[in-house]
Amino acid sequence: MTSDLQAPASRDGNAAMRVASGIRDAIAHGDLAPGSRLRQEEIAERFGASRVPVREALKSLEAEGLVTLVPNAGAWVSRLTLAECEEVYQTRERLEPLLLAHSAPHLSEADLDRLEELAAAMSSTDDVGEFVRVDREFHMLSYSRAETLMLGDLVERLWNLTQPYRRAYTVLADADTRRIMHDEHHLMVVALREGDVEGAARTIEGHIRRTRRLLSRHPEVFTTSG
């Protein structure tokens, strides 16, 4: 457990949910890398929780695919193989344009203004952690107005699974790739403002495919120990 994983200030509320949220955020932000060992006693101490909610939190995160539990051995942050990551990204390529199509007609002017601000913020930062955080906010906001039974939750779970590898992609991307990435964010905003849902959907599909293809050229990302 890294020192960057901070305990919530308050012990109020559901302890298992607090612990799960904290671990989930640490994975998303890169504080816990794929393959990292999760020791129950350290987690309990960090969050001021007993072992019972910690076990419940880990089981919840296992159901999300973020944690791997091995009987009589312990818990680890899940890691994907290259083939698994490609499968997840291929699934995202097909699902996220559909989710965006559900959401786009219901995005408000305030939503579009915020998307434009986020696109500009990504273009102006060289900090990987900040970029990854803002990038997630950008895409989750673009999907946030969709009224779907399960598609939104499924896409968020797939994002959680690939978030550590999204960080790796950002580090690996050269200047040209970063320029294209920023251009695509701005193109999405323009298309959404113009009501061009098909154009926005095509952009996000290519955006995801580009990430998948770059990661496929770096298998070492999937073998480095956490």
Residue linked to tokens 């089981």: 59
For the chain, the structural domain boundaries read: 15-77, 82-222
* Token representation of residue 51: 């072992």
Question: What is the pTM for the complete model shown?
Answer: 0.83
Domain 82-222, CATH homologous superfamily name and number: GntR ligand-binding domain-like (1.20.120.530)
- DSSP 8-class letter at 8: P
**Residues 6 or more apart from 169 whose CB is under 8 A from it?**
211, 214, 215
Instruction: With H, G, I as helix, E, B as strand and everything else as coil, classify residue 182.
Output: helix
What sections of 79-222 are H helices per DSSP?
Answer: 82-103, 109-123, 128-143, 151-172, 175-193, 197-216
* 175-202 tens-digit pLDDT: 999 999 999 999 999 999 999 999 999 9
* 7-65 tens-digit pLDDT: 444 443 488 999 999 998 888 777 888 889 999 999 999 888 888 999 999 999 998 88
Q: Which of 56, 64, 59 is nearest to 28 (CA)?
A: 64
Length of the chain: 226
| pLDDT score of 69 more than 90 | yes
**Residues 6 or more apart from 174 whose CB is under 8 A from it?**
none
Q: What is the CATH code for 15-77? A: 1.10.10.10
The secondary structure element, H or E, covering residue 57 is helix 51-64
